Amino acid sequence: MPELPEVETIVRRLRPRLTGRRISNLEILWPRTLCNHGPAPERIRNQRVDSVERRGKFICLGLQDLRLTIHLRMSGRVVFDCRGENPNHIRARIHFENSECLTLVDARKFARIQLWPREQPFLPRMGPEPLRRETVKEVLDDVVSHRPIKAVLLDQHILAGIGNIYADESLFLARIHPQTPARNLTPRQRSRLAAAIPRILEAAIQGLGTTLNDYRDPNHQPGVFQHQLCAYQRTGKPCLVCGTPIARIVVAQRGTHFCPRCQRERAK
């Protein structure tokens, strides 16, 4: 699933090509792709794209008097050139007046486009962005949950944009067992995790995201951060720090990868 670094990479590719363009039509080929929060879909016609931003794992187009968000979920991709794509997997197209077209491709049909009134808060329940160490530290200091820290990191209401890959990588870097109840983290563990999360995410943005399965940018380019992963999907391979085989367990219904020696359950 595209997480914060992949969506950030996508947005950086979209921004120069879409900003200032007028939308001529939003074509929905799979009806459930569109979730409407108020504005009639026809209102999108002739709207100019004023901004292209990311919020959590959402692509956000700021239009003149509405907002359009895209969530790619498991396997969605947005592409400028849809030649070579399976036509049965095309869920929506945003047509622009200069005959540019952004196509939403998704084999699994989970990707969603949402329309929001411009003046109202959108994505109101999402937690803060995790790219600043101070912000992450404040959030972690306030967490009183008994849930495993891995589950808390995946909760978009607590921090926005972290998914399975970067939760595992951040916990590895911070040397924290993924099943540690969040409220039991020591102050030193919280400090290490608050430093690790932005560091991993920034490195992954520099690496243009992680491509293990479906992820490609809008120009079909894969990321390269998969070559820097230390824990995620390295089950049985030696820990890059201590050589112990990386273990896989299930936490919050998600496959979770960690080093049993570097990330011991007892607080260090």
Using CB under 5 A as the criterion, which residues of the chain lie in contact with Zn ion when the complex forms?
Answer: 239, 241-242, 244, 259, 261-262
5 flagged as catalytic: no
Q: Which helix (H) or strand (E) holds 70?
A: strand 66-71
265 is a catalytic site residue? no
Residue 85 CA to residue 79 CA, distance in Å, equals 9
- Is residue 2 part of the annotated active site? The answer reads yes
Query: 241 vs 267, which CB is nearer to Zn ion?
Result: 241
Catalytic choice (3, 6, 8, 169): 3
Q: How far is the CB of 109 from Zn ion (least distance, A)?
A: 39
Residue of 2, 39, 130, 178 marked catalytic: 2
d(CA 230, CA 175): 12
Least distance (Å) between residue 181 CB and Zn ion: 22
Q: Which residue has the tokens 């992949």?
A: 6
At closest approach, how far in Å is the CB of 185 from Zn ion? Answer: 19
Residue nearest to Zn ion (CB): 239
**Which of 127/260 has CB closer to Zn ion?**
260
Per the annotation, the verdict on 254 as an active-site residue is yes
- Cβ closest to Zn ion, residue 247 vs residue 252: 247
Which among 22, 118, 248, 254 is annotated as catalytic?
254
In whole angstroms, how close is the CB of 256 to Zn ion at the nearest point? 15
Half-sphere exposure of 166 (CA within 13 A, CB side): 33
Locus of tokens 């995410």 = 201
**DSSP symbols for 206-256:** HTT---SSS---TTS---SGGGG-SSTT-TTSBPTTT-PBPEEEEETTEEE
Smallest distance, Zn ion to C-beta of residue 230, A: 9
Nearer of residues 212 and 242 to Zn ion, judged by Cβ: 242
Instruction: Quote the CA–CA distance of 172 and 169 in Å, as a whole number.
Output: 5
User: What does the alpha-carbon distance between residue 251 and residue 153 come to, in Å, rounded to a whole number?
Assistant: 11
Alpha-carbon distance of 186 to 21, in angstroms, equals 50
Residues paired with residue 58 on neighbouring β-strands, in sequence order: 55, 71
Kindly name the residue from 13, 54, 55, 57 that is annotated as catalytic: 57
Return the bridge partners of 12, or none: none
Residue closer to Zn ion by CB (options 35, 241) is 241
Q: Which residues are catalytic?
A: 2-3, 57, 254
